[in-house]
With several copies, the nearest count.
Chain A
Amino acid sequence: MAEKPVIGNEARGTQMINVLFFGQLREQLNTDKLSLDTVSNVKALKIVLAQRGVIWRDILASDSTLVAVNQIISNEETTLCDGDEIAFFPPVTGG
């Protein structure tokens, strides 16, 4: 699976997905948004992202990292489609 980041672009209507990062994760990865080729599910997306370095691998492997697909809390088995918005974030601290 070739990785083809197109930062800041809208993936909808293409064979791509948008990946967002929030909170401490955004700072640790120094990234707020990526556009990547569509992959089958969240697990496959994590494998692609882990290739970016140790810090990416560690954060994505952490039990405390949450993932939302199209704004709904999801998990590794959640399947992905072209145009989906996937967000990774640390435990939430609102309220």
Chain B
Amino acid sequence: MLDTIEVQNEDFDMSALYNALRHNNTSNGAIVTFTGLVRDFNQGHNVGELFLEHYPAMTKISLTNIVAQARQRWTLGRISVIHRIGRLTQGDQIVFVGVTSAHRKDAFDGAQFIMDFLKAEAPFWKRETTEQGPRWVEANSDDSKALTKWER
């Protein structure tokens, strides 16, 4: 299968992921990647550490469904989605989405669609360590609004 979908504690290597999307793939002239990192500041607090919890039986199913929906809407080549769980700190990589296509627009739309649905539906929850102690990250209303872009 052309899709790599992983949920893991370990960090990922952007360079290796990019090479896997590119290697022996001369029919696809466009590669779009998204990487999400732990920011130092979120919702009015300095962030020290994050703990990423998930619903283990569902996470990979959810990501697989989202990727399948993207494939139905655009002509996409290779797709990689990597999401980390567990303890993360400032500047750490959290998520990678990489999409190849023969066409630039399909690659951009596919990658953004996957990220928008991942943010709205994939069962991950972040708990932050802040100066005021630990707290659950609040969902961002922009993330549900982002889905309206994909209605049709």
Interface residues of A (CB under 8 A from B): 20, 22-24, 64, 68, 71-73, 85, 87, 89-95
If A87-B58, A93-B126, A94-B124 touch, does A22 touch B119 (CB 8 Å cutoff)? Answer: no
Q: Is the interface of B mostly helix, strand, loop or mixed?
A: mixed
Q: Are B53 and A92 in contact (CB under 8 A)?
A: no
**Residue among B95, B115, B120, B123 with the highest chain A CB neighbour number at 10 A:** B123
Q: Which 6 A-B pairs have the closest CB atoms?
A: A94-B124, A91-B139, A23-B125, A71-B58, A95-B119, A93-B137
Residues of B within 8 A of A95 (CB): 36, 83, 94-95, 104, 115, 118-119, 122, 124
Contacts of A73 in B (CB 8 A): 62, 121
**Which residues from chain A contact B143 at a C-beta distance below 8 Å?**
91
With contact pairs A92-B139, A95-B94, A95-B115 given, residues A87 and B83 touching in the complex (Cβ less than 8 Å): no
A residues less than 8 Å from B52 (CB atoms): 94
Which chain A residues lie closer than 8 Å to B94 at the CB level? 94-95
B50 to chain A, nearest CB (A): 10
How many of chain B's residues touch chain A, expressed as a range? Answer: 20 to 34
A22 to B140, CA, bound (A): 18
* 10 contacts across the A-B interface (CB closer than 8 A): A22-B125, A23-B53, A64-B139, A87-B58, A92-B119, A92-B120, A92-B123, A94-B95, A94-B119, A95-B124
Q: Give complex CA distance A87, B126 in Å.
A: 18
Contact of A22 among B55, B61, B83, B126 (CB under 8 A): B55
- Interface pair B61/A71, CB less than 8 Å apart: yes
Min Cβ gap A27→B in Å is 8
CB-CB under 8 A from B125, the residues of chain A are 22-24, 89-90, 92-94
Chain A residue nearest in CB terms to B62? A71
- B85, chain A: closest CB distance, angstroms: 9
Contact of B61 among A24, A72, A92, A94 (CB under 8 A): A72
Tell me whether A23 and B122 are in contact (CB under 8 A): no
Which residues of B60-106 are within 8 A (CB) of A? 61-62, 65, 83, 94-95, 104
